[in-house]
Structure formats: structure tokens, C-alpha cells
Amino acid sequence: MVVVTGVLKEEIVGVFREMLPLLENGELIKRNYARGIIGGNEVVTLYGLVGKVESAMLAQAIIDKFNPRYIIHCGSAGAIHPELKIGDLVCGNVYFEHDFKSEKKVPIEASTALIEKISDVYDSINFGPIVSGDVLVSDKETKMRLYETFGAYAVDMDSAAIAKVCYQNGVEFCSLKVIVDTSEEQARIEYEQNFRKFASLPSTIISELLDKHLL
């Protein structure tokens, strides 16, 4: 089984609308989920993973209920790498919590199998570190610090927490994000302008992957 998650509904709609047949609708920790088939894959979609605490809580609940082989997290992120632009795609190959204070920065690696298959279905994806924290990054100084400290490509509030839970449970994971803001002073305005335009792109790519590959 493959589980595809997002923060908001728009971020998983690319997978949800391709489920045929739709086998089940249900609820998990007050979040709605749908289960169906794409290609030869049994797939569950679920959204509502907001911030690191809720993301970790839901990731564990998903694993306990569905015992998936893969969890793929789709959605939006802010750019950290200076060459990334609005609308660019980033697939995390490693994940860090940037707001967790520790002398040792321990990365959690993404699933190599998922990265290979994502590369196969879409060739315009940037692969690099994604950093997560419970804060909106909206100033250039913080942005540059994250780039210099982690070599980060993108920042969000969820991927690293899900990655950690998946690692502890032996579930393969990756996060595919689209850049909707520059993580600088105008980040909130950029997010509001760009989210609806780009939010479904990662899950649309994942639906193509699921249709093409048996996971």
C-alpha cells in the first residue's frame, strides 16, 4: 500500500481524483481519508498534517492503521536554494529539523526507490535537502542561514517530522514539494498568490508514478 499525504486538500487532489475504483471513505484522528486503486497500487490519501506535532501524530496513526510500504508527502514549500523559483519542484533526498537545537545535525534519508521512480516520470525536479520547523521563514537572513547550515533546497513545517516517524517504523518515505514563496519578507503574500495555482502539481506527478509503476 502507498499513502499520499498533504497539509491541505488541494495538495492531494491530483492523486485523489485518479482513484478508480474508490474503495472506501473513512476517518482517522478526525481527518478524512480515501482508499482506492491507481494503476496496480492500493492507495490511501489523507490531508491535515499541519506542523511537526500533527504531522508526526498522523504519520504514526497512518502506519498503525494501514501498515503502508510507502508514504509520499505532497505539497508546497518555501525556497531556500538561491536559484529556485516559484513553481519549481523539490524532492527531498534528506530531511532535517531546522528548529531542533542539537550539536549534531542528523539527516534522515529519503527512499531511493521512490526517488528513482519520481525521476523516471518527471525530469524537471530538483533533488536536495528539505528542512522543517514550526515557523514561517520570511526573512532573507534566516533563509541564508538555513542554506549555509544544511545546504537546504526548501523549507516547510512537516516533511522532517514524517520522515522521522517513517524511519523509526521502517516505512519508505519521500516528500515532493512545489515552491510557492521565496522565504523572504514577502513570503506570506507570495504564498497567497501562488498556492492555488501550483498546489496540486506534486500529487499530479505522483498519480502518474502510481499509474506507471507498481510499488
Give the contacts of 141 (CB within 8 A, at least 6 positions apart). Answer: none
In terms of DSSP H, where are the helices of the chain? 13-16, 51-66, 112-121, 140-150, 159-169, 187-198, 201-212
Query: Mind telling me the catalytic residues?
Result: 11, 181
* Backbone dihedral angles phi then psi of residue 157, each to the nearest 5 degrees: -120, 15
- For residue 28, give the C-alpha cell: 482517522
The type of residue at 47 is Y
Between the alpha carbon of residue 101 and those of residues 5, 57, 79, 85, 176, the distances in Å are: 27, 21, 22, 29, 25
In this structure, are residues 72 and 173 in contact, taking their beta carbons and an 8 Å threshold? yes
Question: CA-CA distance, 21 to 61, in Å (whole number)?
Answer: 24
**How far from the centroid of its chain's Cα atoms is residue 166's Cα?**
13
- For residue 147, give the C-alpha cell: 542554506
Give the contacts of 113 (CB within 8 A, at least 6 positions apart). Answer: 172, 215
